[in-house]
Amino acid sequence: MTSAFSPRYGDHDAPATTLTSPAIDLMLSHRSVRGYRPDALPDGALEAIIAAAQSAATSSNLQTWSVIVVTDPAVKARCAELAGGQKHIEECPVFLLFLADLARLTRVASGEGLAHAGNDTLEMFLVAAIDAALAAQNACVAAESLGLSTVYIGAMRNKPEAVAELVGLPPATAVVFGLCIGFAAEGKEGSVKPRLPQEAVLHNGRYQLEAQDAAIARYNDAMAAFNERERASTTTPWTVHSARRVAGPESLSGRHVLMQVLRRMGFFKAE
Amino acid sequence: MTSAFSPRYGDHDAPATTLTSPAIDLMLSHRSVRGYRPDALPDGALEAIIAAAQSAATSSNLQTWSVIVVTDPAVKARCAELAGGQKHIEECPVFLLFLADLARLTRVASGEGLAHAGNDTLEMFLVAAIDAALAAQNACVAAESLGLSTVYIGAMRNKPEAVAELVGLPPATAVVFGLCIGFAAEGKEGSVKPRLPQEAVLHNGRYQLEAQDAAIARYNDAMAAFNERERASTTTPWTVHSARRVAGPESLSGRHVLMQVLRRMGFFKAE
């Protein structure tokens, strides 16, 4: 059976449901785009995207995130370089850097003459990173609802201190990822990529590890079919691709020292 | 000027844009709901919500998250207790536990006879937590697009090992937060809560800390007006409320030891 859900799972593993909504259809059609036209965003689009981002839930309404808008070609070029040479960062008209931001909360507490030692924990860094991610995902959906495309840039964590210096970050703030926003270049619109069957990701009441094996094997097939259809250069199975990504410290593009780096940047000093 | 953006910022600080979309309007109308009717979700809603969640971006397509669906009243009651007595967890028909999940990836690598030492870093825990958050925010938007309501439960991090035992988590998985889903009970629909003015959160090219003070002061006023309109029990300014939340280790509901706890659960063993 083919449904709105099929491209996301391949024909064999789409859920049987037909219940959907315009918002769900929009999310199902998400593609990460790595090639942009130079055209600027429509007037007011950035403000609308940020309003959607701020509308996401935030832990205890603390709003421990911020975003830097990068439009300066030289700064985008440096970001592209720090991310290991990702040309789409230079191409997109708006590059957003999402921050875990405990600096505002520390300043707010200091301004009231109150203590803020809780900020010096991994928990508060995690609160801030999750706040940033929830906001960013709303931004992503908002952008796509306006006909724009996006791609997350995790590689902004390759050299977090260099990025911090580039955009003037104070202690207790760090870029957790970037987000390119713009109009997809012709031929760069991409295709909906299949994900793991729901039975691998969705657990009823208790976590099941071994039971995922069959779904993972089918997913290798679905990804092989996708790569062939897309004429992708890779023929590596998803399982092997994924394992290589975490083979060892050297496969993490410098991010294996993130704990020390974030400590130097003012996070979790109490731990 | 009153616009679709006004309830999110209060009349004085709404952005001047009028550009919007149905998806943006949906996100702008988000409210966290803490009271649910017992009614089950519509047929197929959970599968559609999870499909939306899986459609969010995921770092290098590694899909390092999972979700446990909790519907058993006894398990929900225990979750409510572990979260410090949050009655809405018992009330909602579907309680989702979002996991940072490196266990699947470790098993995948082992199955291929490949190394996976990269999983033992803070970076990979963060990748997994961000993956889970991006997925969860799509789930949240999807649920609301179907007329359902939600609330995130960060307090599932108060006692992560007890939660792990309750739902049978293997090493290198942890609940990063919960999400209640259901139909809002009458009178519990809530109101759109104002957020900080965009000028406090959105930085043009470089981060500005001191320049946020004026916007934060106006936000204290906006939240005071909101609390009065909502007849909220609190008259504490947002700045003071927020500072108290991070005053010290004792204000974090047990989460000040999260780094040690996550180490015991199999994360960032290399650091």
Among A8, A42, A207, beta carbon nearest to B55 = A8
Show residues of chain A in contact with B262, CB under 8 Å. 122
Give the ranges where A146-197 is alpha helix by DSSP (H). Answer: 160-166
Of B48, B159, B169, B36, the residue nearest B94 (C-alpha): B36
Q: Which tokens hold the place of A88?
A: 């789409």
Whether the CB of B119 is below 8 Å from some CB of chain A: the reply is yes
CB contact under 8 A, B205 and A260: no
Quote the CA–CA distance of A126 and A259 in Å, as a whole number. 12
CB contact under 8 A, B142 and A21: yes
Mean pLDDT of chain B: 96
β-strand partners of B98 = B67, B177
Show residues of chain A in contact with B246, CB under 8 Å. 62, 105, 109, 116-119, 124
pLDDT for B81 beyond 80: yes
Whether the CB of B202 is below 8 Å from some CB of chain A: the reply is yes
- Could you tell me the pLDDT band of residue A33, with boundaries at 50, 70 and 90? very high
CB contact under 8 A, A146 and B30: no
In this structure, what are the phi and psi dihedrals at residue B191, rounded to the nearest 5 degrees?
-130, 155
CB A24 within 8 A of CB B46: no
Which residues are CB-contacts of B73 (< 8 A; sequence separation ≥ 6)? B90
Whether the CB of A19 is below 8 Å from some CB of chain B: the reply is yes
Residue A101, pLDDT score:
98
What confidence tens digit (pLDDT) does each residue in B134-165 have? 999 999 999 999 999 999 999 999 999 999 99
What confidence tens digit (pLDDT) does each residue in A92-151 have? 999 999 999 999 999 999 999 999 999 999 999 999 999 999 999 999 999 999 999 999
Quote the CA–CA distance of A111 and B113 in Å, as a whole number. 55
Q: What angle do CA B200, B205, B207 make, to 5 degrees?
A: 45
Quote the CA–CA distance of A36 and A263 in Å, as a whole number. 36
The mean pLDDT of A216-222, rounded to a whole number, is 97
**Which amino acid, residue A212?**
Q
Whether the CB of A264 is below 8 Å from some CB of chain B: the reply is no
CB contact under 8 A, A213 and B270: no
Q: Which tokens hold the place of A133?
A: 């991610």
**Interface residue of A1, A13, A32, A126 to substitute, partner B, most B CBs within 10 Å:** A126
CB B206 within 8 A of CB A168: yes
Residue A78, pLDDT score:
98
Pairing of strands A173-182, A202-204: unpaired
Share of chain B above pLDDT 90, in %: 93
Show residues of chain B in contact with A157, CB under 8 Å. 123, 126
Among A152, A203, A255, beta carbon nearest to B68 = A203
CB contact under 8 A, A104 and B243: no
Pairing of strands A65-70, B202-204: parallel
SS3 readout for B148-166: CEEEEEHHHHCCHHHHHHH
For chains A and B, CB pairs below 8 A equal 440
Whether the CB of A52 is below 8 Å from some CB of chain B: the reply is yes
B67-89 core/surface letters (b: 16 or more CB in 10 A; e: else): bbbbeeeebbebbbebbeebebb
In this structure, what are the phi and psi dihedrals at residue A192, rounded to the nearest 5 degrees?
-65, 120
Residue B2, pLDDT score:
61
DSSP three-state, residue B207: coil
Residue B17, pLDDT score:
86
- Could you tell me the pLDDT band of residue A232, with boundaries at 50, 70 and 90? confident
**Which amino acid, residue A191?**
S
- Beta strand residue intervals within chain B, DSSP E: 65-70, 94-101, 149-153, 173-182, 202-204
pLDDT for A194 beyond 80: yes
Q: Cβ-count burial of B254 within 10 angstroms (0-12 exposed, 13-18 middle, 19+ buried)?
A: middle
- In this structure, is the dihedral angle defined by the CA atoms of residues A263, A264, A267 and A270, taken in order, positive or negative? positive
Residue with tokens 């609308």: A48
Edge-first strand listing for the sheet containing A65-70: A149-153, A173-182, A94-101, A65-70, B202-204
Quote the CA–CA distance of A256 and B127 in Å, as a whole number. 12
CB B133 within 8 A of CB B65: no
Show residues of chain B in contact with A42, CB under 8 Å. 19
Residue A10, pLDDT score:
82
CB B192 within 8 A of CB B202: no
In this structure, what are the phi and psi dihedrals at residue B63, rounded to the nearest 5 degrees?
55, 55
CB contact under 8 A, A157 and B111: no
More confident residue, A3 or A204: A204
DSSP three-state, residue A110: helix
Could you tell me which chain A residue has the CA closest to the CA of B214?
Answer: A108
CATH T-level assignment (fold) for domain B31-188+256-264: NADH Oxidase (3.40.109)
Altogether, the residues listed in chain A come to a count of 271
- pTM > 0.95: yes or no: yes
Whether the CB of B187 is below 8 Å from some CB of chain A: the reply is no
Residue A2, pLDDT score:
62
User: What distance separates the 2 farthest-apart alpha carbons in chain A?
Assistant: 63
pLDDT for B1 beyond 80: no
